[in-house]
């Protein structure tokens, strides 16, 4: 049993969380709005924002949990994957603090942490389960054997599904990040209005790069005929794009469940906040007799709660880091 501080700084969210004996007490997230005006995350600006935010956020979660520095047993931080400069802020902070307090660091893999977010609240899945992890940088189908043992069954060969959401949104003239915007508009649209080709690759892998090209060509053709096409059909376009992406995700998820003979199914990562995907998964659960696990919204997108709970499991396994550990922007799974 231990008191762990978790720190997340892999992209554009600075977040800290305290986990006491396996229970996540709080989860503060500073979202960086500065990137909106550039249509995507600007790495240098992200690092500077992390530097600005990290001290107040860490102080706040410790104070909120009524924990003094001497009470901490370990500091978990995102080692990778992510933006190098952004990771450097969190990892340098965590390592310095741990050294000053003479406690261990616990380096955490960001994508594995998304999966372990399922162990923050009840109901918790039982091992082994299948997790579809869908974020801005990754799309993975995982067989989760234990908190520290996960096997990749399939993954994207090119773009992540979050990227496909964001790039499609850009084509529709929507601001960054486009995923949540598409989700919002889709709820008011007809998902069968437009059809887009679903690209396929063998086995349990995914490919999402083709869909944006297919959307681009379709829009070019329609806008030539009617320059107001996008504005006039925005909700239906969002709904049809979202439907196509969700069907692609679900197709391989169903295959994976069948192949592994597992009916405990979880989703994780930023795109698991998507209402259409959550609804579709619920429908499939009723049809296929799945027991499904969907994280609370605050634990779908990047957050330190998932880093702190990962820290808890790794601490139990005595999987500690070294002061010489450098951030790994492309950290192997
Ligand atoms: O996990 P995450 O916060 O960061 C990464 O680790 O990448 O995922 C961010 C991604 C972005 O592509 C964002 O557009 C997408 O998750 N996203 C959504 C929704 N909320 C976030 N995509 C679709 N619908 C949403 N509601
Ligand atoms: Zn993430």
- Distance from C-alpha of 133 to C-alpha of 267, rounded to nearest angstrom: 6
Bond before 128 cis per omega within 30 degrees:
yes
Q: Is 27 in the pocket of ligand 1 (CB under 6 A)?
A: no
- What residue ranges do the domains of the chain occupy? 3-116+302-316, 123-294
- Distance from C-alpha of 223 to C-alpha of 106, rounded to nearest angstrom: 52
Query: Which residue, by CA, sits nearest to atom 11 of ligand 1?
Result: 136
- Distance from C-alpha of 329 to C-alpha of 46, rounded to nearest angstrom: 14
* Mean confidence (pLDDT) of the chain: 97
In Å, how far are 58, 87, 89, 323 from 76, measured between CA atoms?
Answer: 12, 13, 14, 13
Between 188 and 37, the higher pLDDT residue:
188
Which CATH superfamily hosts domain 123-294? Answer: ATPase, nucleotide binding domain (3.30.420.40)
Cβ neighbour number for residue 283 with a 10 Å cutoff: 10
What would the pLDDT profile of 252-309 be if each residue is shown by its tens digit? Answer: 999 999 999 999 999 999 999 999 999 999 999 999 999 999 999 999 999 999 999 9
Q: Are 104 and 320 in contact (CB under 8 A)?
A: yes
Q: Which CATH architecture has domain 3-116+302-316?
A: 2-Layer Sandwich (3.30)
What would the pLDDT profile of 148-171 be if each residue is shown by its tens digit? Answer: 999 999 999 999 999 999 999 999
Largest Cα–Cα distance in the chain? 68
Cβ neighbour number for residue 124 with a 10 Å cutoff: 12
CATH topology agreement for domains 3-116+302-316 and 123-294: yes
CA of 209 to the centre of ligand 1 (A): 17
pTM of the entire predicted model? 0.96
What would the pLDDT profile of 47-97 be if each residue is shown by its tens digit? Answer: 999 999 999 999 999 999 999 999 999 999 999 999 999 999 999 999 999
pLDDT at residue 36 is higher than 90: no
Atom of ligand 1 lying closest to residue 301 CA: 3
């Amino acid at each position: 049993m231990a008191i762990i501080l978790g720190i997340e700084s892999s992209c554009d969210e600075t977040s800290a969380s305290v986990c006491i004996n396996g229970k996540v007490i709080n989860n503060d997230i500073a979202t960086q709005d500065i990137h909106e005006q550039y249509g995507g995350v600007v790495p240098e600006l992200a690092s500077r924002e992390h530097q600005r935010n990290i001290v107040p956020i860490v102080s706040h979660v410790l104070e909120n949990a009524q924990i003094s520095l001497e009470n901490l047993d370990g500091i978990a931080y995102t080692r990778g994957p992510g933006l190098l400069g952004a990771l450097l802020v969190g990892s340098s902070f965590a390592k310095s603090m741990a050294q000053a307090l003479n406690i261990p660091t616990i380096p955490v893999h960001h994508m594995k942490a998304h999966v372990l977010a399922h162990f923050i609240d009840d109901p918790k899945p039982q091992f082994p389960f299948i997790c579809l992890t869908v974020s801005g940088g990754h799309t993975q189908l995982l067989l989760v054997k234990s908190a520290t043992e996960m096997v990749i069954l399939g993954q994207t060969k090119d773009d992540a599904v979050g990227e496909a959401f964001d790039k499609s949104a850009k084509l529709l003239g929507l601001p960054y990040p486009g995923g949540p915007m598409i989700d919002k508009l889709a709820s008011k649209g007809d998902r069968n209005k437009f059809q887009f080709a679903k690209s396929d690759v063998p086995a349990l892998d995914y490919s999402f790069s083709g869909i944006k090209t297919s959307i681009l060509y379709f829009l070019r053709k329609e806008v030539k005929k009617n320059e107001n096409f996008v504005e006039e059909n925005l909700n239906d376009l969002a709904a049809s794009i979202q439907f196509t992406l969700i069907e692609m995700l679900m197709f391989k998820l169903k295959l994976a469940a069948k192949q592994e003979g597992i009916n405990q199914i979880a989703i994780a990562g930023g795109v698991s906040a998507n209402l259409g995907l959550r609804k579709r998964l619920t429908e499939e659960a009723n049809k296929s007799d799945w027991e499904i696990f969907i994280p609370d919204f605050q634990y779908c997108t990047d957050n330190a709660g998932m880093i702190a709970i990962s820290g808890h499991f790794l601490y139990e396994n005595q999987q500690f880091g070294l002061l010489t550990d450098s951030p790994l922007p492309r950290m192997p799974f």
